[in-house]
């Protein structure tokens, strides 16, 4: 009789333990993944920006030329795609107003370049969000969630 009780209680306890520890374990693994991805992004940033411009130029040559003249910001906003759980690096750029463009608003136009980390590599496919800064993109787009960065140990 006691054996039958343990046959039912032990699996139930294991399932409960799994349900309790699943989220912290996933968060820890994602944190380690984010640290590695951030380091890779910093090492490859210049190359990734060039790759971004090349990919964008293949899709839309005029837009590619406009982006070549853009001013890239130094700050990187880290986010995660809620659907795919992939890490994203969002970088803001701004464009100077063209001297031939008659516009009532002389402020520079903004956009956000998106870089995606998947299968251990960063991809620059020319994905962009026009007229949005990175922080606005994360706030307005339900698909993105901000990645909270914790201070690194030893730094």
Higher pLDDT, 32 or 116: 116
pLDDT at 5 over 80: no
Give the pTM.
Answer: 0.74
Dig out the tokens for 3 from the structure: 């054996």
65-80 residue pLDDT tens: 989 999 999 999 999 9
pLDDT at position 155 is: 44
90-112 residue pLDDT tens: 999 999 876 666 666 655 689 99
* C-alpha dihedral sign at 99, 63, 41, 147: positive
Q: What is the overall mean pLDDT for the chain?
A: 84
Rg (CA), the chain: 22
pLDDT at position 35 is: 87
Name the residue with tokens 């992939």: 86
pLDDT at position 20 is: 74
Question: Whole-angstrom Cα distance, residue 36 to residue 85?
Answer: 16
Percent helix, strand and coil across the chain, each to the nearest 5: 45, 25, 30
Helices (H), the chain: 2-59, 61-68, 134-140
């Amino acid at each position: 009789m006691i054996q039958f009780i343990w046959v039912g209680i032990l699996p139930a306890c294991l399932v409960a333990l799994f349900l309790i520890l699943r989220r912290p374990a996933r968060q820890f693994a994602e944190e380690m993944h984010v640290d590695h991805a951030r380091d890779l992004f910093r090492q490859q940033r210049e190359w990734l920006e060039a790759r971004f411009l090349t990919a964008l130029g293949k899709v839309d040559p005029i837009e590619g030329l406009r982006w070549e003249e853009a001013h890239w910001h130094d700050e990187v906003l880290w986010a995660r795609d809620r659907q795919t759980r992939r890490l994203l690096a969002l970088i803001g750029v701004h464009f100077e107003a063209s001297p031939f463009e008659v516009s009532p608003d002389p402020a520079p136009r903004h956009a956000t370049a998106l870089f995606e980390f998947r299968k251990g590599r960063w991809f620059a496919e020319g994905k962009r969000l026009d007229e949005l800064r990175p922080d606005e993109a994360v706030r307005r787009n339900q698909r993105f969630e901000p990645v909270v960065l914790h201070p690194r140990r030893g730094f």
